[in-house]
Structure 1
Amino acid sequence: MDHAATREGRPAFEVTHRLVLSIALPMTLAFMTTPLLGLTGTAVVGRLGQAAPLAGLAIGAVLFDLIFASFNFLRSSTTGLTAQAYGRNDLHEQQAVFWRAMISALACGAALLVLSPVLLWFGLKLMGPEGGVAEATGTYFSIRMLAGPAALANYAILGFVLGRGRGSTGLLLQTLINGLNLVFAIALGLGLGWGVAGVAWGSMIGETAGAIVGLIIVIRGFAGTALPSRSELLSRGRLAELFALNRDILIRTFVLLAAFTLMTRIGAYFGAVTLAANAVLMNFVLISAFYLDGLANAAEQITGRAIGAGYRPAFDRGVKLTILWSFSLATIATIFFLGLGPRIIAVLTTSEDVRAVAGTYLPFAAVTGLTGALAYLMDGVFIGATWSSDMRNRMLLAFAGYLLALAVFVPLLGNAGLWLALNGFLLFRGVFLMLLVKPRADQTFRSAQ
């Protein structure tokens, strides 16, 4: 530990570039392995030479991702609460935070498993697949849902290790999960010819193995520490705090999903070619999000730890350094996308019409790293600080600004206006939160003294 001093039994610490990168880089690498799963599954099923299984896989994956993205609050809230307990040097409370998160994750996972037939029925009604496509969707979704408890347990485990600043452990677990997923998807889906079912079982094996290994790693770290009592785990005050934090993060997630869904729906009115071009360009947005999320993870841990320690210098320097790295990497990525974007587009699509339209709007997608850098980072700061109500409220305010931008710019500029509104939404999120950092930090650290 990089202690610089000790205050009232709480370890003060120095925030360095090395500390920031030790958390951010491993998690960026871990997040970058995730797109490989979708590509591998598509390649495995695509080699079967039939359209229905491939379409069914795509729909099933979308349904699963939509449902489980809603539970990302399990990861975020666990990180913030663990980081603050870590900053207080309170190992007992760290353990209590972990077990509360695991109980919540397993309960939610079990509920989803029981409700999976209803969720599948609703998803098929929503997406409208028929015949072989619907059958393939049902096969994939039903098998993937068996991994629901393990998948949500992995959220809690990852949140805990990130809260303790163990980015390398997070990388290890994500690599294990995704690596086994890839190997078994290929072996079962292609090698044994199980197709869609093989890809789904690969995910099931990866998630389950990751949860088991992660649980072993975490429990070994508790050696010599007494287990929290039932009354501590079920403390009304602690559970209320966890519920409020999870509720606010969930609302924020739904609003974010709504923003991107709205962009897709509006883009559809401009025709199939423009819709396809926007889908291609969204890959640039997602790639930017992956590496910016790594720095947001660093901000979560450092700011949460600083608040737990009651050490304002670490908080201020943590915000400063993560902002510096976020904008530096975003600038490099923007230059890279502007320069090599046309070649990347050519790899992603063979349609000349789609390539041409995507090239026209490439600059709007390329700069989303810059316009979104502060938004992603501020989410990390506010999650680590557990200022969740402020994050929720500012997200709603930014969404209102997004709706206004859509109403003004889309009728005037068409698809360019749509991309302009998206960039505005990212800017609104970051700036609105940044304006709150100093007053909220002043209040938090003053009350901690």
Structure 2
Amino acid sequence: MHKHILKIALPSIVSNIVVPLLGVVDLAIAGHLGAPAFIGAVSVGATMFNLIYWNFGFLRMGTSGMTAQAYGQGNGDEAVCTLRRAVALALALGIAIIALQYPLQWILLEIIAPDAGIAMLARDYFFICVWGAPALLATMSFTGWFIGMQNAAYPMAIAIAINIINIATSLICVFPLGLGFHGIAVGTLVAQWSGLLLSILLYMKTKRKERLPKNARGSLFAGMGRFFRINSDIFLRSLCLMAVTLFFTSAGARSGEITLAVNALLMQLYLFFSYFMDGFAFAGEALVGRFAGAKDEKNLRKCVKNLFIWGSAMAVVFSATYGAFGEEIISLLTDQPAVNAAAADYLLWAAIMPLAGMAAFVWDGIFVGLTATRQMLLSLAASTTAFFALYYIAPTQSNNMLWLSFAAFLIVRGMVLLAAYRRLYKF
């Protein structure tokens, strides 16, 4: 079982680390264009798309769980139809984003509120990259499908290819072709469509390898009821998650620029931990879904147990590392004395978060595999309520209270899903 878990988890961890590099590459190129405004514009533009695409994470998660169950059942028709439904929805959503690009950019810039010069550049970046929306959303669907088919190597290859193509095309567009700042967006756009093309090629290879039906007999619309129910639960869950994340950033900003900087750095440590935990969550999606589809409760329970063994090990390693070397890690990320000094007062939270959040990550993967998405939504509703209640009930809304509320948010998520699993499997 450990071998099966690592076969999914390790490539997924690599993918999770590689994907954010797309934004880092754009920032690095912008940093060599001679004006700080270009860096700010890329950052704002990336944030605009993150706010959009984060809400469509269900295209990957929902597809992964349903495909894994079809794989466990040996139902090739349903596996193929699941992908078709996901890609059809992804393309429809992508086209809708393109059609609504003008009101969307206005709303997003009102939310982010950059200064006028950066807003103008970010708007240009947005209007170019938005044409990649159908490709990016469809690629998310393919990624979920590959994971459901027990193949995490292909999503890793796609993520690496997208980054290599982005680097090459952005550099060519910016410098030899002389497109300047706009060349960064063109490079990103080319990389996104290239990622979709590679996804299609790897899908065709998978169909041959797995001997999937060339013309699936299942109807594209027959399973849409279950498909939309699962994905709507995950969509609403994502809204809760985004509300907490945006509020966390906003609350830190109200405490001053030093506190905002400290929180951003500590959150980077948490996000790095999350890249590893998401790898094991993806393994949970694939394997739990497979065993649930095959009605193999013995291996399902064994898989859950081993996922928590790996998750606990990761949490302890990260917690110990952040506890022992937190100051040194922060000093690598910034050379600002005031930020380093302030961070020392909050480093304990960096060590606590892996322990507080481990169970939430693992349970998320398990419940995606079970396609028990209503329980996932309820866990986010309960934990979001706990987050805001604890923060506002406190006598003072300090930064320590903000981090305590975030820790409670993670713990409650894990506890609610533990209770739900116990109800499902009576232990």
TM-score (norm 1): 0.91
1:374 touches 1:430 (CA, 8 Å); kept in 2? yes
AA paired with 1:78? T
Match of 1:318, SS state, is helix
Instruction: Report matched runs for 1:54-133 at 5 Å.
Output: 54-133=39-118
Q: Is structure 2 residue 33 aligned with structure 1 residue 33?
A: no
Task: Tell me, yes or no, if structure 1 residue 292 matches structure 2 residue 280.
Answer: no
Question: Of 290, 299, 311, which aligns to 1:305?
Answer: 290
The aligned residue for residue 232 of structure 1 is 219
1:61-115 alpha-carbon deviations (Å, 9 max, x no partner): 1011110111110000000000000000111111111111111111111111111
Query: Which one of the candidate residues 357, 363, 374 is aligned to 2:348?
Result: 363
* 1:270-285 mapped onto 2 (5 Å cutoff): 270-285=255-270
Residues 1:158 and 2:143 aligned together: yes
Name the CA distance, whole Å, in 2 between partners of 1:147 and 1:140. Answer: 12
Cα deviation for residue 179 of structure 1 reads: 2.1
Give me the whole-angstrom Cα distance separating, in 2, the residues matched to 1:192 and 1:337.
44
Judge conservation of contact 2:248–2:402 (CA < 8 Å) in 1. Answer: yes
- Structure-2 separation of matches of 1:81 and 1:276: 40
Partner of 1:10: none
Structure 1 gap ranges (5+) = 1-15, 444-449
Asked if 2 retains the 8 angstrom alpha-carbon contact of 1:87 and 1:307, the reply is yes
State percent identity of aligned pairs: 31
> 2 CA distance for matches of 1:44 and 1:276?
23
Q: Aligned match of 2:156 in 171, 195, 198?
A: 171
My pick for the range that moved more, 339-348 or 83-92, is 339-348
Which of 347, 369, 377 aligns to 2:362? It is: 377
Aligned to 2:167: 182
Q: Of the candidates 400, 406, 411, which is equivalent to residue 416 of structure 1?
A: 400
2:199 paired with 1:211:
no
| Contact 1:300-1:380 within 8 A present in 2 as well | yes
Match of 2:371 in 1: 386
CA RMSD of aligned residues (A): 1.7
2:229 equivalent to 1:244: yes
CA contact (8 A) 1:176 1:210 kept: yes
User: What amino acid does structure 1 have at the position aligned with 2:300?
Assistant: F
Aligned to 2:3: 18
Distance 1:96 1:272 in 2: 50
The amino acid across from 2:172 in the alignment is A
Preserved contact between residue 323 and residue 350 of structure 2 (Cα < 8 Å):
no
Query: Compared with structure 1, are the counterparts of its residues 130 and 406 closer, same or farther at alpha carbon in structure 2 (3 Å cutoff)?
Result: closer
Q: In structure 2, what is the Cα distance between the partners aligned to 1:222 and 1:44?
A: 38
Tell me the amino acid that sits aligned with residue 228 of structure 1: A
Partner in structure 2 of residue 343 of structure 1: 328
Query: Mapping of 1:253-264 within 5 angstroms?
Result: 253-264=238-249
Deviation at 1:292, TM superposition (A): 0.4
Q: Residues 113 and 145 of structure 1 are in contact (CA less than 8 Å); yes or no, is this contact kept in structure 2?
A: yes
Q: Deviations over 1:256-297 (max 9, x none)?
A: 111111111222222111111111111011101111000000
The answer to whether the Cα contact below 8 Å between 1:284 and 1:366 also exists between their aligned partners in 2 is: no
Distance 2:249 2:349 in 1: 15
Task: Give, in whole Å, the separation in 1 of the partners of 2:175 and 2:329.
Answer: 28
The answer to whether the Cα contact below 8 Å between 1:288 and 1:368 also exists between their aligned partners in 2 is: no
Question: TM-score, structure 2 length as denominator?
Answer: 0.95
Q: Specify whether residues 330 and 84 from structure 1 end up closer, same or farther in structure 2 by C-alpha distance, changes over 3 A only.
A: same
Q: What is the CA distance between 1:442 and its match in structure 2?
A: 5.2
Q: Extract unaligned runs of 5+ from structure 2.
A: none
1:295 partner amino acid: F
Equivalent position amino acid for 2:288 in 1? T
The CA deviation at 1:37 is 2.3
Cα distance in 1 for partners of 2:228, 2:111 equals 29
Instruction: Tell me if structure 2 keeps the 8 A contact 1:406–1:421.
Output: yes
Q: Say whether the 8 Å CA contact 1:53–1:132 is kept in structure 2.
A: no
Off by >4 Å, runs of 4+ in structure 1: 190-193
Structure 1 position 433 matched with structure 2 position 421: no
Residues 348 and 194 of structure 1: CA distance in aligned 2, closer, same or farther (over 3 Å): farther
